[in-house]
Amino acid sequence: MRKIILLVLLLILAIIISFPILFMLGGSIMGNSELSSYLSPVLNDKPGFVHWSLIPNYPTLSSFVALLLDSPEFFVMFWNSIKITFVILIGQLIISVPAAWGFARLKIPYKNALFNLYVILMLMPFQVTMLSNYLTLDKLHLMNTHYSIILPAIFSTFPVFIIHRFFCSIPESIMEAAQLDGANKLQVFLKLGIPLGSAGIVSAMILGFIESWNLIEQPLAFLKDKTLWPLSLYLPNIGLELAGIAFAASIVAIVPSLLIFFGGQEHLEAGIAASTLID
């Protein structure tokens, strides 16, 4: 009985939490006239209040057709997002994994102080570091290029923090046993550390993907040329007359994140749990 009540309660909460997705799904198959009638009070300054229907009166796929066949700029931004995201992920793999191993396993003077500095930097919002980033990128002549987004993200502290937790959980005795067998430090890292910490690495990649896929502030601040904009900046440029396309674009934009999430769901749970433990 308790389980049923709990289940019902959780279902209700789940539905409520799913409302934004359901709104988006319903709006993506509505015609423009129906959307205008619902959204005019807020987007056209008409009197009255916004009202909405989860199930459209006149469903149509015209928004998807217009988006996928008549909006080439959407695909430019989509592939920009793919490029930025995957280059960031590869960069983070190359940079963050060894950094996390170093913090977890190596005996470096002032290692803890440095790691605490990492954590402090990780906690700082973008607005705090934006100006210093801007000046640095400008000096490096990287403004208005994808590298202005990619390079700071590659050297992000968050994946280091996540992977570090997993590397810390590997027992020291395994390392010692490997060293006794003649493995050097690089072999221990490559053959033992990475496989044993793969869960953390995967969860860091997934979180990194979601973060990179939804970047808004950095592209707005550092990219002036619209041909370089990622998909996250496509939506703010659409008004009431293209509301249907806006909903369809939202659905298409959310698909990669959903698929990545389903692909690494197990590791993501572990990663989120690890990220909440800040020693």
Partner 1 sequence: MNLSKIINFEISKKGLKTVQGKAIKLLAGFLALMLLFTILSRSAYSLTTPKVTTTTISSMSIEHDMNISGQIYANRNVIISTQPNIFILSVDVAEGAPVKTGDVLFRLDLNDLDKQLQLAKDQLKKLELQQTDETSGMELSANNKKTAAERAAEDYYKVLSTENNNVQKALDELNDLESNDVNYKAKKDAYNQAVIIKENNILSAQRVIDDANSPLATNHSAELALIDINAAKDNIGKMELLKLNNGEIKTPKNGTVKKLDVTEGTRTSDGVAALLTDASLGYCFKAKVDRDIAKDLSKDDAVTLMLNGENSALENLKIDSMYVSIEDSNFFQITVNIPPSSENPESTANIEIKKQSEMYSSCVPLDALHSDGIKTYVLAISDKKTALGSETIAERIDVVVEDKNDTYAAISSNFESDQKLILSTNKPIQPGDRVRVEEE
Q: Does 256 bind partner 1 (CB under 8 A)?
A: yes
Taking only Cα atoms into account, the Rg of the chain, rounded to an integer number of angstroms, comes to: 23
**Closer CB to partner 1, residue 19 or residue 75?**
75
Q: Does 168 bind partner 1 (CB under 8 A)?
A: no
What 3 state SS string does 106-128 have?
CCCCCHHHHHHHHHHHHHCCHHH
Task: Assess contact for 59 and 30: CB atoms under 8 A.
Answer: yes
Burial-class residue 150 by CB neighbours within 10 Å (0-12, 13-18, 19+).
Answer: buried
Q: Does 195 bind partner 1 (CB under 8 A)?
A: yes
Q: Shortest approach of partner 1 to residue 164 CB, angstroms?
A: 15
Q: Does 179 bind partner 1 (CB under 8 A)?
A: no
Binding span for partner 1 by CB under 8 A among 31-39, 42-50, 147-155, 170-178: 170-178
Cα–Cα distance for residue pair 35/187, rounded to 1 Å: 60
Q: Which of 126, 166, 173, 181 is nearest to 148 (CA)?
A: 126
Q: Does 245 bind partner 1 (CB under 8 A)?
A: no
Binding span for partner 1 by CB under 8 A among 5-13, 130-138, 139-147, 226-234: 226-234
Q: Does 181 bind partner 1 (CB under 8 A)?
A: no
Q: Does 176 bind partner 1 (CB under 8 A)?
A: no
The DSSP string of 202-225 is HHHHHHHHHHHHT--HHHHHH--S
**Closer CB to partner 1, residue 82 or residue 95?**
82
Binding span for partner 1 by CB under 8 A among 27-35, 50-58, 127-135, 166-174: 166-174
DSSP 8-state symbol, 51: -
Residues 75-134 interacting with partner 1 (rule: CB under 8 A):
75-79, 82
Q: Does 70 bind partner 1 (CB under 8 A)?
A: yes
CA atoms within 13 A on the CB side of 165: 22
Binding span for partner 1 by CB under 8 A among 13-21, 29-37, 93-101, 225-233: 225-233
Q: Which residues contact 247 (CB under 8 A, 6 or more apart)?
A: 24, 27, 28, 30, 35, 63
Q: Shortest approach of partner 1 to residue 5 CB, angstroms?
A: 29
**Closer CB to partner 1, residue 73 or residue 217?**
73
Largest CA distance in the chain: 78
**Closer CB to partner 1, residue 121 or residue 194?**
194
The torsion angle over the Cα atoms of residues 265, 266, 267 and 271, rounded to 10 degrees, is 90
Q: Which residues bind partner 1 (CB under 8 A)?
A: 68-79, 82, 169-171, 174, 195-196, 198-199, 225-227, 229, 234, 252, 255-256, 259-266, 270
